[in-house]
Structure 1
Amino acid sequence: MPEPDDRLRNLGPKSRAWLAEIGITDIDALREIGAVEAYARLRFQFGRSISRNMLHALAGAIADQDWRLLSAEHKAELDAAVAQRLAGA
Structure 2
Amino acid sequence: MKSGEKLRNIGPVSAAWLAAVGVASREDLQRLGPVVAFARVRRVQPRASLNLLWALEAALADCDWRELTPETKSRLRDELHELNHGAA
Query: Does TM, scored on the shorter chain, surpass 0.5?
Result: yes
Q: Is the Cα–Cα contact under 8 Å of residues 36 and 78 in structure 1 kept in the other structure?
A: yes
Q: Is the Cα–Cα contact under 8 Å of residues 56 and 67 in structure 1 kept in the other structure?
A: yes
Distance (Å, rounded) in 1 between the aligned partners of 2:49 and 2:19: 17
Which secondary structure does the structure 2 equivalent of 1:8 belong to?
coil
Q: Which moved more, 1:64-73 or 1:5-14?
A: 5-14
> What does residue 55 of structure 1 align with?
53
Distance (Å, rounded) in 1 between the aligned partners of 2:18 and 2:39: 11
Shift of 1:46: 1.3
Ranges in structure 1 where 5+ consecutive residues have no aligned partner: none
Aligned length: 86
Distance (Å, rounded) in 1 between the aligned partners of 2:33 and 2:66: 18
- Structure 1 runs of 4+ with >2 Å offset: 2-6
> What does residue 74 of structure 2 align with?
76
Q: Deviations over 1:44-69 (max 9, x none)?
A: 1111x110111100000111111110
Shift of 1:3: 4.6
CA-based RMSD of the aligned residues comes to 1.6
TM-score scaled by structure 2?
0.89
The percent of aligned pairs where both chains have the same amino acid is 40
| Counterpart selection for 2:63 from 56, 62, 65 | 65
Q: Is the Cα–Cα contact under 8 Å of residues 2 and 25 in structure 2 kept in the other structure?
A: no
Matches within 5 A, 1:7-26: 7-26=6-25
Q: Which amino acid aligns with 1:57?
A: A
Shift of 1:75: 0.7
